[in-house]
Amino acid sequence: MTALTLIRHGETDWNRDRRIQGATDIPLNDTGRAQARATAQVLRERLDGTVPVTIVSSDLARARETAEIIAAELGLTAPREYAGLRERAYGEAEGVGIDEFRTRWGDWYTAEVPGAEPWADLRTRAITALGEVVRDHRRATAPAAASLIVVSHGALIREVMRHATAGELPLEGERLANGATHDFVYERDHLRLVTYAGLVA
């Protein structure tokens, strides 16, 4: 069994301005760096020091820097990067504001945006990447009981949640807060959602 904590990266200027980022490589802003430090404090209070802990991230700058800050605060080895943990590519919608998106393409989940990664493909990629991350972690940190911190992106984490809960969570209209932590258990290639927090309306 592996305990997984999935964390959405800290805030960027595009998050602040409600612009769609996707695969566009936008760095953290100062608020995002503060959120990463605050998340590290939350994790410090939960980790007991007896279980091997590894931190990994998407290879996009906003996730990578969030993971680097958390690793430094907790005294962990520098995070390993996985391209499979990247945010959904939104095609022509990248850089567009949320209101403009709705005007041009309509509903967030049914919109046909040229060049966007299909939701089903995102979920498959996310689950495949998490399986790879867990296998790498287990090879490096036997015993089997271990803790893994994964810093990724809002849409990807939502799809992991939907996979783990057969589509019941998250609820429609909920967004994952920057820096929020969500706990899962990965056992025998199955994911189970344990805690679901850090949402904003």
Cα–Cα dist 12/129, whole Å: 24
Catalytic residue among 45, 65, 68, 87: 87
Q: Which two tokens stand for residue 51?
A: 């279980």
Cα–Cα dist 172/164, whole Å: 16
**Run of H or E residues at 172:** none
**174 a catalytic residue:** no
Residue 165, amino acid: T
- Residue 72 in 3-state DSSP? helix
Q: Which two tokens stand for residue 84?
A: 């499979």
Cα–Cα dist 177/182, whole Å: 11
Q: What is the CA radius of gyration of the chain?
A: 16
Q: Which of 158, 134, 173, 167 is nearest to 54 (CA)?
A: 134
**87 a catalytic residue:** yes
| Catalytic residue IDs | 9, 87
